[in-house]
Amino acid sequence: MSTRSGIGYDSHRLAAGRRLVLGGVEIEGAELGLEGHSDADVLTHAVVDALLGAAGLGDIGQHFPDTDKRYRDADSADLLSEVCSFLEDHAWTIVHIDATVVCERPTLGPYRDRMRTCLAATAGLRPLEVNVKFTTGEGMGFVGRGEGIGALAVATVERAQ
């Protein structure tokens, strides 16, 4: 069995008049949302990049260019689903995903289980095989100033040699 891990990182700017979607879950009543070509779900994007990295299959920008009109306001859960199928085509099985969202506000803890469940369902995993953590910027940097949200993820995949 060949086992590999990959990392993913993403960040998006916060803006008025946008929905805040993280891990496929809409954060209700958020004053600001994330700006981007798709729904700007920074957590799902980091997970997609971690999966592609683990499988050695490039990055999210190669597969879903932001110059492509098909991905305008795209639901990132659909992109994740497409990438999971792509990995399956290459005989990779996803074993585990771990992620951290770096966000000053709002408080995301109440959404943790929904994000895990949603990401797991999309990736064909059990919720216990997906971990989502939260931290803040402690007032420092673009996160601390409330300019944006960042996310990091690590994915582990395996396949027969």
Binding site for Mg ion (CB under 5 A): 10, 45
**Shortest Å, Cβ 158 to Mg ion:** 26
Quick one: 45 or 116, whose CB is closer to Mg ion? 45
**Shortest Å, Cβ 92 to Mg ion:** 22
Q: How far apart are CA 41 and CA 17, in angstroms?
A: 15
Residue in the structure block whose two tokens are 């306001």:
73
Distances in Å between the alpha carbon of 111 and those of 23, 30, 118, 152? 9, 13, 10, 17
Quick one: 38 or 156, whose CB is closer to Mg ion? 38
CB closest to Mg ion, residue no: 45
**Shortest Å, Cβ 66 to Mg ion:** 8
Confirm if 88 and 103 have CB atoms less than 8 A apart.
Answer: no
**Shortest Å, Cβ 110 to Mg ion:** 24
SS3 category, 124: coil
Quick one: 7 or 91, whose CB is closer to Mg ion? 7
Quick one: 94 or 149, whose CB is closer to Mg ion? 149
Q: How far apart are CA 133 and CA 97, in angstroms?
A: 11
